[in-house]
Amino acid sequence: MNMKSARRIVARKRDVGISRLKVDSSALKKIKEAITGSDLETLMKDNVFTIKGKGQSKGRARVLKAKKRLGRRKGKGTRRGTRNSRTKFHENWIKKVRAQRKYILELSKNKKIDKEKYRDLYKKIKGGFFRSKGHIDSYLSKK
């Protein structure tokens, strides 16, 4: 039997697509000798034809990713979770600390605090003592 028709018949019997059928290359002669569908069934039992697994298409996922890269699909209806859960806590902390460090550097350059006070404030910022720049101001006005 012709290989093309054999694959078509086996695919129909196994209820899979032709592209999912894998043929054992050592049994090509047996397939050519097969004449009827029952001959092919015996070959199926001998595992001459194996079925490849079904995959999961990434085509739609790629399209969505491309849209998200362009800034789409980020509206209010898409969001699940609070603002804090959507932006990482550590990233927020980094932003806050950088702003505070920049602020005390400005104070130091403008001679509003000396080097010792700068180091003290720097360490307190690192330890998470201050909530904001305003908190630093109130701390300095009390001391």
pLDDT in tens, 68-105: 999 999 999 999 998 888 888 889 999 999 999 999 99
> Quick check: pTM over 0.75?
no
The more confidently predicted of residues 136 and 30 is 136
- The identity of residue 117, as a single letter, is K
pLDDT band of 27, cuts 50, 70, 90: confident
Specify the pLDDT at position 83: 84
Region for 88 from its dihedrals, namely left if φ exceeds 0, alpha if ψ lies in -120 to 50, beta otherwise: beta
Specify the pLDDT at position 88: 83
Domain ranges, ordered by start, for the chain: 3-51, 85-142
pLDDT in tens, 31-74: 888 888 888 888 888 889 999 998 899 999 999 999 999 999 99
Measure the CA angle with vertex 50, ends 46 and 52; round to 5°: 165
Domain range 85-142, CATH architecture: Orthogonal Bundle (1.10)
CATH 1.10.1650.10 fits 3-51, yes or no: yes
Per DSSP, the three-state class of 21 is: strand
Measure the CA angle with vertex 133, ends 131 and 138; round to 5°: 85
Specify the pLDDT at position 138: 96
